[in-house]
Amino acid sequence: MTHDSTRDTPQGDTPQGDPPADPPRTVLAALKARFRAVPRSTRIYTALLVVLLIVFAMQQLEREAANTLEAPGLASEVVRIDLEVRGRALTLERDAGADLWRVGPQGFRGDSSAVEALLQAVRDLSRLEVVSARGRFEAYGLTGDARRSVALYDSQGREFLLELGYSAQAGGSVYGRVNSGREVVRLPRALHNRVSADADDFRDSLVARVPEGTVRSVELRAPGMEPVRVTPRDDQGAQEGDRAWQASREVDPGRVRDLFQELRLLSALSFVPEEELRELEAGEPFAEVVVAVTGGEEIVLELFPPRGDSRDGRLVPARVTGEEYPFFLPEWRVRRLLLGIEEYLRPFTVQDTSGIS
């Protein structure tokens, strides 16, 4: 008897072929097949190349990490700064009550913009290039007279110390240390230039502020000379928006404008050193600029004999009402204050007679 195979198959279950394979397994099998088809030597070389690339990448990362140093963050509020340059030291302290900086043990009024420029140069530090992990500090100018330092303290007394030395070969930087670390790093030259132990670099140079609108009159006085008075004019000869002035002797109108420009914001070039104060106090001014202002007050600017060589630009010691410390003005500014009248400075002008027979 012949067997009918169709009877063993239930109705509706007719075979449709092999079920579909799992797609991921199919892809993996295909890749294995391709890999087996690649020559064994090629597979070895490829594996070695991948390993070498991984090793090289790791070495680069390690080298980069080892050759840079993250600069510590500066405290949000600095209350004291200690500066040292070539054995000279200077301290800047924050006077919270007066909302200003004090300079040196004398407590000079500080120039906030100069102090802020120094602080900003420190804040701008980020990742620093490490030149040597265990360098000889003397070879980089980080010891002795070449060294300069700036230490910043917050209200808790925590210190942030930077030391700066010789110029680096890169040109735009100097060698330095951070917080007494063993690494020698590169620091920006802009920061190096801000670190000074000269009090004048951080003192407020503004010694008088006399707006023209507050002036009633100006009088120039000098021994043996007729005073020169500058007073408001009665007519309307000035241009609209200008205040008209007249002098008691003939001077160029531009000289009068120069006078008021100098008085508006009178700034010192520098201040007289302490060791020279006694000599100055013993002398007599050769001229005075007396400014009468609204309210009946007078501001007196005393000018003392010039110092230095006229060819190099002499300095004129001066004192002014409201400023405790004597200061220096450049001679060219003094001439503007004296309306360009040569008689005031003539006694201090040496005539060159070398060509006269």
Write the pLDDT tens digit of every residue in 221-260.
999 999 999 999 875 544 444 568 999 999 999 999 999 9
pTM: 0.70
| Collapsed DSSP state (helix, strand, coil) of residue 154 | strand
Q: How far is CA 62 from the centre of its chain?
A: 34
Task: Work out whether strand 127-132 and strand 184-188 pair parallel, antiparallel, or are unpaired.
Answer: antiparallel
C-alpha torsion sign, points 239, 245, 249, 251:
negative
For the stretch 112-149, pLDDT in tens is 999 999 999 999 999 999 999 877 899 999 999 999 99
At 270-327, the pLDDT tens digits run 999 989 999 998 999 999 999 999 999 999 999 999 998 766 689 999 999 999 999 9
Q: How far apart are CA 123 and CA 161, in angstroms?
A: 13
Can you tell me which residue has the tokens 């670190």? 195
Compute CA 313 distance to the chain's CA centroid, rounded to the nearest angstrom: 27
Task: Name every residue whose Cβ is closer than 8 Å to that of residue 287 and which is 6 or more positions away in sequence.
Answer: 220, 221, 222, 303, 338, 344
Contact (CB, 8 A) for 318 and 303: yes
For Cα atoms 291, 113, 265, give the angle at the middle one, nearest 5 degrees.
15
How far apart are alpha carbons 194 and 118 in whole angstroms?
6
Query: 235, 221, 230: which is closest to 259 by C-alpha?
Result: 230
At which residue do the structure tokens 């407590």 appear?
Answer: 107
Across 95-122, average pLDDT: 95
- Pairing verdict, β 287-293 and 228-232: unpaired
Q: Are 244 and 238 in contact (CB under 8 A)?
A: yes
Can you tell me whether residue 248 is helix, strand or coil? coil
Most confident of 35-49, 160-174, 246-260: 246-260
- What separation in angstroms does the CA of 188 have from each of 168, 175, 292? 10, 9, 49
